[in-house]
Amino acid sequence: MKQLPTQTAGSNGSPDAASIAEIFTDLNAIWMSDPQALSEQLKHLHEAMGDVAENISAHSAAEDATARDPMQKILDCVDTLAQTSRQYHQVFGQWLIEYVKQTPRLNNTRRELVLFWVKQFIEMASPANCFWTNLQAVKKLFESEGQSLVRGMQNWMSDCHHGGGLVALADPDSFVLGSDLAATPGHVVFRNAIMEVIQYTPQTDTVWQTPIVMIQPWINKYYIFDLSARNSFVAYLVRQGYTVFITSWKNPGSDMQYTRFDDYMFKGVKTAIQVACQISGASRVHAAGYCIGGTALAALAGWMAGDTTPPPIGDITLFATLLDFSHPGEIAALINPETVQAIRNLASHQGMLLSHQVASAFRMLKPGDLIWRYVINNYFCGGKPPRSDMLFWNNDGTRLPAAMCRQYLEAFYLENRLAAPNALRVGGRPIDLRRIKQPLYNVGAAKDHICPWTGTFQSCRLTGGKVRFVLADEGHIIGIVNPPSPWSKKTYLAGAATRRTDTDKWKATQTPAKGSWWPDWMAWLKPRSGRRVAPPTMGSRQHPALEPAPGMYVFEK
Amino acid sequence: MKVSTALIIEGLQQVFPECKQMDLSIETLLGDLPEWDSMAAVNFQTYLQQQFELEVPIELLADSTSLQEVMEFIANPVPV
């Protein structure tokens, strides 16, 4: 049998349709070189399809003679067709996945890539995603006398015009930033070319001496931690008596094409911590980072460990953050030398990755939830995109600077240099995460497909301080945005972890706790927070309050 | 508010077409649904909010939540 070639990118380096087709041509060539094995595979498919046909034939009902309404007859027909095709689709999809999994002499990286595209194809070919096998869409067509399709067409044209061709996940007019979302009172107290720092207005007579600085990811807007009032993370922390600062990153334009990861570390994270110390008068802060914000925070903490002066970071909290990128989960299928080259070419040509290009990659990890469901609702049924604060935020994407993309994908994802002591050099120093001696509160989410929890657990081994690891239910967003609530059905695990703790053993030996893990974080944080003191002023002489939250950068499209 | 099982199940089948091949009952747990995860929860929350015109807390919609519990919340909605 021949070996599948490693080249998958097109001649211009882009992962175009031709190069994806080439992967499948080569996959089939492997099977064609062993006709007997291929014949066995096809026999399995034939038998499975035969079983479906038999099942359909056994369960087919006699036509209801009372159904005389021609429209109802058509709908019955559509329903039968949908049910039949769904059964065939399910069987064929399962067979196709096994066909790829059993392809001999295919390295795991290549197999994962092929499986990724096969799953995209299976999802796309679902009968629900075809108009005439979607009963709901056909019903709407008849009920609205064709108007649903007219509205669907208008929705599609609007998405082509405004959304870069991506189907809208949420009604863009359903929320107003500053009044419905990102509405916790506060002020922008610092602004530079890369970020604004927001300080929230205290809501208690006294506050803990040590403030919290939240380092947000720049692959979306900051207000995922300040959604509606009842699930705002920052509002919860303010009510707990903390002075809270948060980063709101600039949505990059072409003038930021040379902005690197280092810039986010030094002009962003380091500066935000300095500003918080200067305003609050504290010598150190509780520093908390989410996703790539956590990666930048940990990298900075490792970098600062080389300072002779005491670090201004008292302890570190990481939310769904990877420091070891050796097993980055499903996104690994999109990040290999060829696709990184393609992304580099695209970013270099444009000076940045555009928001819809970034969003496309993440949506392809969950095509059913983040693409096809909305194609059906918005286009086939002509419905309005839904009103949901999380989806509104998800739809409000950002661009990424070309230089940062290149550095992040290569040094972190491909070469995993942050995890190796002294392998990543920034700001004139190598970074060794083992030199981080601050306590670490490390949160992973059990169903996180962007930063798998087993990957986030590796941070317990990489850093040198005491660690409490928390495993939240749910995924990358809802696992973290997890407010205490009388209705909460969530559970979490929490316990100490050391450099030698085995991931599975840790999980097996923890007792599930009910509800949100936020109170557990508070119980960990408060003994480290010093005395209760009078709240600091909003801003200071050095950093005057510039304008009310949510500031300016969050509105940049 | 009177909530029929059929309406909830119809909604689930709209949001998760794969459910049509499952035997759904009020004891079915959300975590048993194919492809159930955080984003699926957001989509189901959106469906319930639009269908019943009330606010449904996302933290109610977890793996261990049964359809019975969803129906009870909708039948006796509490301001969230």
Cβ neighbours of A470 (radius 10 Å)? 25
- The rounded distance, in Å, linking the Cα atoms of A459 and A321 is 9
ipTM: 0.78
Q: Is the pLDDT of residue B34 over 70?
A: yes
The residue that leads in pLDDT, A335 or A132, is A132
Cα-based distances in Å from A201 to A128, A231, A285: 48, 18, 17
Residues of A in contact with B69 (CB under 8 A): 489
Q: Does B54 lie at the interface with A, CB-CB under 8 angstroms?
A: no
Confidence of residue A445 (pLDDT cuts 50, 70, 90): very high
Determine, for residues A473 and B49 on separate chains, whether the beta-carbon distance falls below 8 Å.
no
Nearest to A365 by CA among B38, B17, B67: B38
Tens of pLDDT, residues A406-433 = 999 999 999 999 999 999 999 989 999 9
Q: Which amino acid is at A5?
A: P
Cα-based distances in Å from A90 to A99, A170, A297, A364, A536: 14, 29, 44, 20, 60
- Specify burial of residue A69 (Cβ count, 10 A radius: 0-12, 13-18, 19+): exposed
Q: Which residue has the tokens 């970071």?
A: A313
Cα angle for residues B54, B56, B58 (degrees, 5° grid): 160
The pair of three-digit structure tokens given for residue A364, joined into one six-digit string: 């392809």
The residue that leads in pLDDT, A6 or A377, is A377
pLDDT of amino acid B2 = 58
Catalytic option among A77, A130, A160, A291? A291
CA distance A136 to chain B (A): 8
- The rounded distance, in Å, linking the Cα atoms of A346 and A341 is 9
Residues B16-37: what's their mean pLDDT? 79
Determine, for residues A230 and B80 on separate chains, whether the beta-carbon distance falls below 8 Å.
yes
The residue that leads in pLDDT, A121 or A443, is A443
Contacts of A140-144 with CB under 8 Å at 24 or more apart are A140/A380, A140/A381, A140/A382, A142/A71, A142/A74, A142/A75, A144/A382
Q: Is the pLDDT of residue B21 over 80?
A: no
Q: Is A291 a catalytic residue?
A: yes
What secondary structure letter does DSSP report for A391? H
Determine, for residues B43 and A390 on separate chains, whether the beta-carbon distance falls below 8 Å.
no
Q: Is the pLDDT of residue A4 over 60?
A: no
Backbone angles phi, psi at A348, to 5 degrees: -65, -40
> Which residues, 6 or more positions from A483, have their beta carbon under 8 angstroms from its beta carbon?
A230, A231, A232, A233, A236, A516, A518, B59
Exposed e or buried b per residue across A170-207, where buried means at least 16 C-beta atoms within 10 angstroms of its C-beta: beeebbebeeebbbbebbbbbbeebbbbbbbbbeeeeb
Q: Which residue has the tokens 């720049």?
A: A218
Confidence of residue A34 (pLDDT cuts 50, 70, 90): confident
Q: Is the pLDDT of residue A213 over 50?
A: yes
- The rounded distance, in Å, linking the Cα atoms of A233 and A518 is 9
pLDDT of amino acid A98 = 92
pLDDT of amino acid A12 = 38
Exposed e or buried b per residue across A299-310, where buried means at least 16 C-beta atoms within 10 angstroms of its C-beta: bbbbbbbeeeee
**Alpha helices (H) in A247-291, listed in sequence order:** 261-263, 271-280
- Strands A212-215 and A244-249 turn out to be parallel
Confidence of residue B20 (pLDDT cuts 50, 70, 90): low
Tens of pLDDT, residues A492-503 = 999 999 988 999
Q: Does A482 lie at the interface with B, CB-CB under 8 angstroms?
A: yes
Residues A288-300: what's their mean pLDDT? 97
Nearest to A266 by CA among A109, A458, A404: A404
What secondary structure letter does DSSP report for A339? H
pLDDT of amino acid A10 = 40
Is the Cβ–Cβ distance between A237 and A201 less than 8 Å?
no
Q: Is the pLDDT of residue A7 over 50?
A: no
Q: Is the pLDDT of residue A264 over 50?
A: yes
Instruction: Please tell me which of A122-126, A138-142, A182-186 the model is most confident about, judged by mean pLDDT.
Output: A182-186
**Alpha helices (H) in A497-550, listed in sequence order:** 503-509, 518-525
The residue in chain B having the minimum alpha-carbon distance to the alpha carbon of residue A386 is B46
Nearest to A293 by CA among A321, A270, A271: A321
The closest CB to that of B50, out of A86, A366, A386, belongs to A386
Q: Does A267 lie at the interface with B, CB-CB under 8 angstroms?
A: no
Lowest mean pLDDT among A145-149, A519-523, B42-46, B66-70: B42-46
The closest CB to that of A388, out of B18, B42, B69, belongs to B42
For residue A286, give the H/E element and its range. strand A285-290
Confidence of residue A153 (pLDDT cuts 50, 70, 90): very high
Determine, for residues B59 and A370 on separate chains, whether the beta-carbon distance falls below 8 Å.
no
A527: alpha, beta or left? (left if phi > 0; alpha if psi -120 to 50): alpha
- The rounded distance, in Å, linking the Cα atoms of A312 and A287 is 9
Residues of B in contact with A491 (CB under 8 A): 62, 64
Lowest mean pLDDT among A38-42, A209-213, A269-273: A38-42
pLDDT of amino acid B32 = 87
pLDDT of amino acid A17 = 64
Is the Cβ–Cβ distance between A207 and A533 less than 8 Å?
yes
pLDDT of amino acid A35 = 86
The residue in chain A having the minimum alpha-carbon distance to the alpha carbon of residue B19 is A86
Nearest to A89 by CA among A57, A122, A114, A46: A122
Confidence of residue A65 (pLDDT cuts 50, 70, 90): low
pLDDT of amino acid B74 = 87
Confidence of residue B17 (pLDDT cuts 50, 70, 90): low
Residues A289-297: what's their mean pLDDT? 97
- Specify burial of residue B44 (Cβ count, 10 A radius: 0-12, 13-18, 19+): buried
Is the Cβ–Cβ distance between A464 and A435 less than 8 Å?
yes
Percentage with pLDDT > 90 across chain B: 1
- The rounded distance, in Å, linking the Cα atoms of A128 and B47 is 17
Residues A375-404: what's their mean pLDDT? 89
Determine, for residues B58 and A488 on separate chains, whether the beta-carbon distance falls below 8 Å.
no
Residues A153-168: what's their mean pLDDT? 87
What is the 3-class SS of A187-238, one letter each residue? EEEEECCCEEEEEECCCCCCEECCCEEEECCCCCCHHHHCCCHHHCHHHHHH
- The rounded distance, in Å, linking the Cα atoms of B44 and B30 is 10
Percentage with pLDDT > 70 across chain B: 88
Lowest mean pLDDT among A90-104, A215-229, A260-274, B47-61: B47-61
Please give the mean pLDDT across all residues of chain A: 89
pLDDT of amino acid A332 = 80
